[in-house]
Amino acid sequence: MLSLISNSFRSDASTRLESDHRMPASESEIDVSDLSIVFDGAHGQVIAVDRVSFTARRGEFVCLLGPSGCGKSTLLNAIAGFEQPYAGTILVSGKRITGPGPDRGMVFQQPHLFPWKSVRSNIAHGPRMNGKTRAEARAIADDLIAMVGLSRFANAYPHTLSGGMQQRVSIARALANQPRVLLMDEPFGALDAQTRAIMQDSLLKLWSRISATIIFVTHDIDEAILLADRVLVMSAGPGRILSDITVGLPRPRTLELTLDTRFLALKRECFALIKEQSARAFDAAESRS
């Protein structure tokens, strides 16, 4: 499989992505304060996210880790502007979130590409919707196609691509509007183990070349530690932040790091928290049945 990152970043166009380098991770990019999200259920209101607070610095990679049903995706959707808070606030770059916006790109577990559009047209769609000319949108798309290693497939259609390649297109499309924040909801969860490992490595290489802050949802402990600067471990529902773990492992990171004693110590810490919460969620489900 082609590497996600090409050896050269082609473009002299004025519409070239502005972020060949990482921005210093010092300024706060995301501020979540006392956030609660409540849904109406068949037997009354259900608290999905309960009084969650955290910040993410500019250019930081943060993973939300927790058992199924803990509110990880709901929290991510709220940052994206898809869910409205019951209480609390979300700020991105100091501005309160009231709905979706081009400052935030979203990557889902499934690629959700337009099947009637080519790879280039899928990626160019966002810039065109935001007022870029056809030539400008094409230049942006071609830059990203090169970055994700799909130059040979620029004119291909989604059904002709493998799952991993489709997800690369999805990531490129999310970056096409040059978002300050990239939100990723288990984007590699549907991939086989080998492709998943390749995509994790490729994402780290891509992240080293862009300025976006990444919030990444996963239930995979190894994935969270390998990718993140910080891992926020969430409780079983209602979702709360149980622990904010600084990974602190050197970069660049490769899969060999998973055998490092420091990695394994972090894994044990996360596993103990997740095991306890998964057992609590199971017991709660049993008591309701």
Give the sheet arrangement for strand 28-41, strand by strand.
44-57, 28-41, 87-92, 95-96
User: What does the pLDDT look like over 173-192, one tens digit per residue?
Assistant: 999 999 999 999 999 988 88
Distance CA 41, CA 17 (A): 44
Tell me the residue length of the chain: 289
The reported pTM is 0.86
Distance CA 97, CA 59 (A): 19
Q: Of 10-14, 37-41, 47-51, which one has max mean pLDDT?
A: 47-51
DSSP 202-256: HHHHHHTT---EEEEEES-HHHHHHH-SEEEEEPSSSB-EEEEEE----SS--GG
Least confident of 12-21, 77-86, 121-130, 132-141: 12-21
State the burial class of residue 52 (Cβ atoms within 10 Å of its Cβ: 0-12, 13-18, 19+): buried
End-to-end alpha-carbon separation of the chain, Å?
46
In the prediction, which pLDDT does 285 show?
A: 61
Q: What is the dihedral of CA 143, 144, 145, 148, to 10 degrees?
A: 130
- Phi and psi torsions of 59, nearest 5°: 80, 5
In the prediction, which pLDDT does 7 show?
A: 34
Question: And the tokens for 36?
Answer: 């609660």
Residues contacting 74, CB < 8 A, separation 6+: 37, 48, 49, 83, 239
Distance CA 278, CA 70 (A): 9
Q: What is the number of other CB atoms lying within 10 angstroms of the CB of residue 246?
A: 10
Mean pLDDT of 142-150: 92
